[in-house]
Structure 1
């Protein structure tokens, strides 16, 4: 297909009535009983919303909690990319929003998402990041994340990525990788057009920073990104990341 033909096709894909579009919120879970209730509570009140919890085999009360709150729950093979793609496949909404189970959306997120996607040239978006703990070092991390997201148009999965289902299908969904699936999706989307960042932040759990240490976790994340660019396989990176994540200095 010529570049002109590709542009026309993309224009047709993103031309739809966003103002009244249903948002399907897809939440991948694996043993998130301590967090899922707060994440689900942050979605209300909102309008034209569908919630899909995609469980990867939880051994705790995650599934029971979600079902008790009237949320649709489906099962999928464990793995964030697999679970999010499974949720997208059954979603009925015109807009998809991928929410981590330890993350809470801001009040009025539904209006903000629709307004963001209605802007000319916008293909996807995410929220600014707020980490739910008071350590000053976390404010530095937030600043770095928000600068990267806004100026490089590279938000990550913990910022509640959203886009239309048509665009999601067009780029092939999340690549089936054991790690870096959100990074790779953003690279594909950025090649199409603008990725917007809503300035009102989501609030995500500080657990992964506090468990290992703020600077150690940040350093580990950057090493993974560099290694990925150098061509080290995602499977090998995932194994190494898990080992380092739980290793004590």
Structure 2
């Protein structure tokens, strides 16, 4: 949150009642005309609908001047969801959670090219960010700052190289005895060649050497390709799905 609040490109607005803050609404740094609603809070005892609408009106004007095309939100907090439709947000799809609770692994993926997997370093971030923006469409892309931030909190972060060129990467975190695959991306020109599987396989083995076999990952419900890969590695949906909503400027 500090990264967003301290960044002039990620506007955050507060609602005051005399000398106290009663509400906050803020978005991420825009990327290719899209941004995420990252921060929303209203204190107890305040009319939530009125507070959110008041904050949104100010944020709307600001984003419109910045020529933002759409604002997205992941409905992690149920209290906000009922108010989104009043702001003309529309449901898009779910982000699903998959969980792996086994030490078993399928056979090692065999690619038709030589893949080198190594640790991801800070100096790799610009090249990794380019891969990310090629692999994903807005709003799912990550900025350089997003990747720097993720890398600082990573337990394991690796890149896949072919002929010394970065063509894929993964970033994973750890909380106690559970690992989480936060990001996995492969350049579109290299997809379908077992590179994602190689990164995933390597990551799982690294965590297992640390005694960690339980892992989670999130992906869009519509991303059936990634779900097939995760299913092959014994990830299964656990029912923790979150709705994605979008507001489109007209």
Q: TM-score range by the shorter chain?
A: under 0.3
Flag the structure with larger Rg.
2
- State the structure with bigger RCO (CA 8 A, min sep 6), 1 or 2: 2
Q: TM-score, normalised by structure 2?
A: 0.27
Structure with higher helix content: 1
